[in-house]
Structure 1
Amino acid sequence: MRKIVLTANDDRGLDGAMSMHFGHCTHFVLASVDPNNQVTSTEVHVNPYAERHEPGQIPEFIKGLGADVVVAGGMGAKAVQWFQQLGVQVVTGARSGVGETLDAYLAGAVSGVSECNHEH
């Protein structure tokens, strides 16, 4: 069973809107996926660090959810490095919807990492 976390702008789960900015998303959707790429369950978690966070806090939070993969619209190099150190695969490049992005990831249409180059 894989656990995939996606960044979201709301609490609507797979019906919600993807957040294109990893560090400022309001929610995370945790999808449990079986070996046949079927979603077996989903959970929505509020991002406790959406307004203000220190380096590493969000990656540690997501790892604490049991995530194997995190999918975001974009992510900075420092966050990518944190996830790599924690053994969580990072995928960037999203569709507009959370469910649509998850489907694209599971189909192999969303993969790899493009880092954000901006600083906040």
Structure 2
Amino acid sequence: MRIAVPIKDDSGLESEVCEHFGKARYFVFVDLEDGEIKGSEVVQVPFEEHSPGDLPEFIKQHGGEMVLAYGMGRRAIAYFNAMGVQVITGVSGKVRDVLEGLAKGTLKADPDWRSKGDFGRHEF
């Protein structure tokens, strides 16, 4: 499975998950098979500004089948759902740790992420 994660910098698996999906400048695409990381690729977002659907399309073009993120708007989630891409929100921490939790079935996601930070300004 190819998993896309918005990251704070270009450190790949050692980076932290970016809190704001739509503000991430980089994504790491990770190939996870049988609970093991088989490969990863950091890709810089190719546009400064984006319209609804641009980031989901970018992720789909890079083979993303699942997105792990902290905060994400309802529109983006709807685009992913329409594309058949699974979305898990409320995820934070170092990418490698998040993927390990996913593989082991121990991934912890914050169900209250919408009420934290400045997410109240976004339409969810």
TM-score (norm 2): 0.84
Whole-Å Cα distance in 2 between the matches of residues 118 and 83 of structure 1? Answer: 22
Higher strand residue share: 1
Letter in 2 for 1:118: R
Structure 2 matches for 1:96-107, cutoff 5 A? 96-107=93-104
Structure 2 matches for 1:81-96, cutoff 5 A? 81-96=78-93
Mapped contact 1:3–1:31 kept (Cα < 8 A) = yes
2:121 alignment counterpart: 118
Q: 1:54 to 1:43 in 2, by over 3 A?
A: same
Whole-Å Cα distance in 2 between the matches of residues 66 and 111 of structure 1? Answer: 23
The alignment partner of 1:75 has SS state of: coil
The CA RMSD measured in Å over matched residues stands at 2.0
> Structure 2: which 5+ residue stretches go unaligned?
none
- Give deviations 1:49-96, integer Å, cap 9, x for gaps: 3x3100000000000111110111111100000000011000112232
Q: 1:119 to 1:98 in 2, by over 3 A?
A: same
Shift of 1:99: 1.2
TM-score (norm 1): 0.87
Q: Is 2:61 the partner of 1:64?
A: yes
2:36 alignment counterpart: 38
> Structure 1: which 5+ residue stretches go unaligned?
none
Mapped contact 2:3–2:29 kept (Cα < 8 A) = yes
Whole-Å Cα distance in 2 between the matches of residues 70 and 112 of structure 1? Answer: 15
What count of residue pairs does the alignment treat as equivalent? 117
Identity of aligned residues (%): 33
2:72 alignment counterpart: 75
Whole-Å Cα distance in 2 between the matches of residues 41 and 87 of structure 1? Answer: 22
